[in-house]
Amino acid sequence: SGSEAPQTRSVQTHCPYCALQCAMTLTVTSWPDAADDYAVAGAEFPTNRGRLCRKGATAAELLTRDDRLTAPLLRGADGELRETDWDAALDHVAARIAALQAEHGRDAVGVFGSGGLTNEKAYALGKFARTVVGTAQIDYNGRFCMSSASKASTLAFGLDRGMPFPLTDLDDAATILLLGSNVADTMPPFVQHLQGAREKGGLIVVDPRRSTTAALTEGEAGFHVAPSPGGDLVLLLAVAQVILEEGFAAEDYLAERVDGLAAFRRSAMRWWPEQAQTATGVGADLIRQLARRLGHAAARARAGGDPVFILTGRGVEQHRDGTDTARAAISLALLLGLPGTAAGGYGTLTGQGNGQGGREMGQKNDQLPGARSILDPADRAHMAEIWGVDEAAIPGVGRPAAQLLHTMDTGDGVRGLLVHGSNVALSAPDADRVVENLRALDLLVVADFFLSETAAEADVVLPVLQWAEEEGTMTSLEGRVLRRRRAVDPPAGPRSELEIWADLARRLASVLDFPIEPAAVFAEIGRATRGATADYSGLDYAALDDGQAAYWPLPAGAEEADEEHTTTDEPIAGTARMFRERFAHPDGRARLTDIRAGRGIAPAGRQLVFTTGRLMEHYQSGAQTRRVQELHAAHPEPTLQLHPAVAAQFGLAEGEPATVTSDQGEMTGLVVLDDGLRTDTVFAPFHFPGAGTANRITRGLTDPQSKMPEFKNTPVSIRPAETL
């Protein structure tokens, strides 16, 4: 009979993982006598055009895992984590925070956030940290992600929107210079936007590895340049040298729209291609070939031809000189007259699901919502009014993420830490030290939906809702604000972080009006960011709910009905293309500057460099994707990729375990031979726990401008291991 037929319903939402935020339809099938089934399928959206990668396609499994956390866990005197009820868990957390702060001061408790949190949660976390906990010590895992490009964009353009143009603009490109990004593995649906450039022979990939993306340049599609890890900055300066020397610079554009050319010229002129060969590991001829290809393509683009884009990813940004490297890429784009014109532009490919929104909402140690400065009196006054607090009560600048996690053992670090949406035990550099520090804390509270490696160290674990179980907005890598929707009923037990912070606000500070409804928080974000550099004030939650995915800023009446570059009928709302009239510095001009290369250059004589990255099957620390059967089966163990010549030299064999050692620690993985790697480079994905934790190798060195740790360039030695 009809009553026994399964009922199905479908909800339009977006992928739980990366910043491409592919659109998907989540279909729920309810059976009369069995648990609901969930299935996802790609949906039409300009970034993915109906496609999903393997991670997105298997995401529904996250909703049915039986190791899902459903009750709060509290560590007993015997050291065991045991289930408890919410009141007991939150009473304990509030009492411990109060006691630690009474004894050691407000900054004794820190808060760690995430680029995976929705905009509403990222905003509420910053507000919670500064107005309820009253601590300056808040930062987030985006510090490890795109902080260098964010800093570089802010310095050069006066504003940080990762891609200040629609992703679909790439479709028409004549040339795309892609540095340090393996999109073919990390976000495969992105590759369709490289197709136009490939067909014109214009895809240029810069990567020490012949990655899946670098392989897309084979044949007539373009070419691959493989600098040594850390060689990117000098490579970019040497390319700029040729652009300047051979007359490819866009003189009129530079005169009209850019300051600082003389200073930048000085930095570039230090690096003749012949001088750059040793520091980059790239021959002078190839450097000149790259520069001339770019120079000619940009000249054609400025004359009305197909555009030229320069894109960076973590490969060039996760360095101790990552800001300078991203700045050099931006400088090259400015020299060629691209940003803010129809001739092309510069963009960074943000990785985390809400990498863009997460960095605009006030989770950063030095920023208030809207990317406002925490030191600016007017910004502080604005937020004090929105939050209903005294301006003097808003704390100052806290420690950036790596320092926050590395200084707990110094005596003046935090003694309590609340971690939300982040698995720092695997994702932070010098991971052994981080784990020791987490263990030594007086209070570690971790909110997550699985028992991540970080949660396993906690005194209190708070189970939270995930992805398709709750409402919220995300901002994709191209600055579009979109809706993630509640599609399924969560299991009994987990709560939204918004509810948890409201509850703690009541317990800690008698605050009764901490908002918990995403729509109400979004409205507050609009008020908080009105007039700020990242201005969400014109965006309307109801319109987003109706299917609009709008670019910020969206000034009233300024909707741009531009369907030319999308595959859907949906008009593009908001400012899709930025900087067309002016850059965001007060005088409207972009900035070039003197960039000194040096910090990241390898010392002569080192033999092997360790660099980290990602696999197609896993996302970030793997806390979610390692739990999805198909993804786990595809790549279950930690691996070390190296050139066959390196394997031969060190007595290593394919499929056998090997151990890599640095000054920080060691990791063990199974050897994968890859002749697409340089003979000075060992590559490991950072998705795996235990002995296979790649960040046990990486150092606490950080970029002085962005505080980005050095993830890509660590001297190591390697030897065979007995077991994995």
Cβ proximity to ligand SF4, 58 vs 668, nearer residue? 58
Q: Say how many residues touch ligand SF4, by CB under 6 A.
A: 14
CA distances (Å), origin 698, targets 319, 409, 433, 612: 11, 18, 11, 9
Is there binding between residue 444 and ligand SF4 (CB under 6 A)? no
| Minimum CB distance to ligand SF4, residue 549 (Å) | 13
Is there binding between residue 52 and ligand SF4 (CB under 6 A)? yes
Is there binding between residue 60 and ligand SF4 (CB under 6 A)? no
CA distances (Å), origin 489, targets 82, 254, 466, 471: 25, 55, 11, 12
Residues 656-675 that bind ligand SF4 (CB under 6 A): none
What's the rounded Cα separation, in Å, for the pair 376 and 445? 31
Cβ proximity to ligand SF4, 52 vs 74, nearer residue? 52
| Minimum CB distance to ligand SF4, residue 183 (Å) | 9
Residues 469-498 that bind ligand SF4 (CB under 6 A): none
- For the CA atoms of the chain, what is the radius of gyration? 25
What's the rounded Cα separation, in Å, for the pair 218 and 587? 44
Residues ≥6 apart with Cβ < 8 Å to 514 = 124, 127, 128, 132, 501, 502, 505, 506
Is there binding between residue 716 and ligand SF4 (CB under 6 A)? no
Residues 157-216 that bind ligand SF4 (CB under 6 A): 187-189
| Residue of 26, 43, 53, 590 that binds ligand SF4 (CB under 6 A) | 53
Identify whether the C-beta of residue 438 lies closer than 8 Å to the C-beta of residue 444.
Answer: yes
Identify whether the C-beta of residue 202 lies closer than 8 Å to the C-beta of residue 219.
Answer: no
| Residue of 17, 346, 467, 686 that binds ligand SF4 (CB under 6 A) | 17
Question: In what order do the strands lie in the sheet containing 344-348?
Answer: 222-225, 203-206, 175-179, 308-312, 344-348
From the CB of residue 583, how many other CB atoms can be counted at a distance below 10 Å? 23
With contacts defined by CB under 6 A, name the span among 20-28, 320-328, 361-369, 684-692 that binds ligand SF4. 20-28
Secondary structure tally for the chain: helices H, strands E: 23, 28
| Minimum CB distance to ligand SF4, residue 511 (Å) | 36
Is there binding between residue 20 and ligand SF4 (CB under 6 A)? yes
CA distances (Å), origin 475, targets 53, 351, 479, 594, 637: 19, 12, 6, 32, 32
Cβ proximity to ligand SF4, 56 vs 685, nearer residue? 56
Cβ proximity to ligand SF4, 181 vs 437, nearer residue? 181
For residue 609, the SS3 value is strand
Residues 629-658 that bind ligand SF4 (CB under 6 A): none
With contacts defined by CB under 6 A, name the span among 19-27, 300-308, 340-348, 604-612 that binds ligand SF4. 19-27
| Minimum CB distance to ligand SF4, residue 116 (Å) | 12
- Interhelix angle 119-127/497-509, rounded to 10 degrees, is 10
Is there binding between residue 13 and ligand SF4 (CB under 6 A)? no
| Residue of 18, 419, 505, 658 that binds ligand SF4 (CB under 6 A) | 18
Is there binding between residue 467 and ligand SF4 (CB under 6 A)? no
Identify whether the C-beta of residue 315 lies closer than 8 Å to the C-beta of residue 207.
Answer: yes
Which residue has the CB atom at the shortest distance from ligand SF4? 56
237 pairs with which residues across the strands? none
Cβ proximity to ligand SF4, 18 vs 528, nearer residue? 18
Would you tell me which residues interact with ligand SF4 (CB under 6 A)?
A: 15, 17-18, 20-22, 48, 52-53, 55-56, 187-189
